[in-house]
Amino acid sequence: MLNIVLFGPPGAGKGTQSAKLIEKYGLVHLSTGDIFRANIKGNTELGAKAKSYMDQGKLVPDEVTISMLEAEVAETPEAKGYIFDGFPRNKFQAESLDEFLEILGCSITLMLALEVEEDELRTRLLLRGKDSARADDVDPAIIQKRIDVYNNETAPVKDYYSAQGKYRGINGVGSIDGVFGQLCEEIKGISSKE
């Protein structure tokens, strides 16, 4: 199984690159942000729980997020592998994911971390906010909050995977195909060792 954590700050290009990776490698895409947004749109109980946190740019509580993620994985037992996009976002989520995958008899193969500096992120998110329906991409204060949450709570997850020898930093600035090429090189590197 090929299980990738596609990591990076908001606006780093995780959604764009996930779409290309799932097409090339036939993986199941699990974006916690997308799942929350679909639930908000569908007026579900889960959506109601997540909305106020998302509107403020804060993380949705771990127990809500982790149980949702595990339920999504359980729904696709035939998957060849997963792209985890936007998850894990703190060390506790990373540990929970490892424990859950161990029960399923698999593990994370690689963490591919898209690296983009903050000024570029702010520009990209404000631009995305102009033509997307994402409320959290419109207000500069909410964008900054999300970047701060990333720096304070999420970025340390790199150390967690680094300690397992699974962290790979990728320059997330450049053409979409150029960044994709770097991601594929890293995946090729791991496949050739297996």
| Active-site amino acid positions | 14, 89, 128, 134, 146
Under the binding rule (CB under 6 A), the answer on residue 87 touching ligand AMP is yes
Compute the distance between CA of residue 2 and CA of residue 25 in angstroms, rounded to an integer: 9
Closest to ligand AMP by CB, 86 or 129: 86
In contact, 170 and 181? CB cutoff 8 Å: no
What is the number of other CB atoms lying within 10 angstroms of the CB of residue 29? 16
Which one of residues 8, 9, 13, 33 is an interface residue with ligand AMP (CB under 6 A)? 33
* Phi and psi, residue 170, nearest 5°: -130, 135
Under the binding rule (CB under 6 A), the answer on residue 86 touching ligand AMP is yes
Under the binding rule (CB under 6 A), the answer on residue 13 touching ligand AMP is no
Compute the distance between CA of residue 55 and CA of residue 128 in angstroms, rounded to an integer: 16
CB of 193 to ligand AMP, least distance (A): 29
Closest to ligand AMP by CB, 69 or 110: 69
What does the per-residue mask of binding to ligand AMP show for 42-71, with x meaning CB under 6 A?
A: -----------xx--xxxx----x------
* Phi and psi, residue 85, nearest 5°: -120, 110
- Alpha-carbon separation of residue 41 from 46, 50, 51, 159, 171 (angstroms): 11, 12, 10, 35, 33
Site of interaction with ligand AMP (CB under 6 A): 10, 32-33, 36, 53-54, 57-60, 65, 86-87, 89, 93, 136, 146
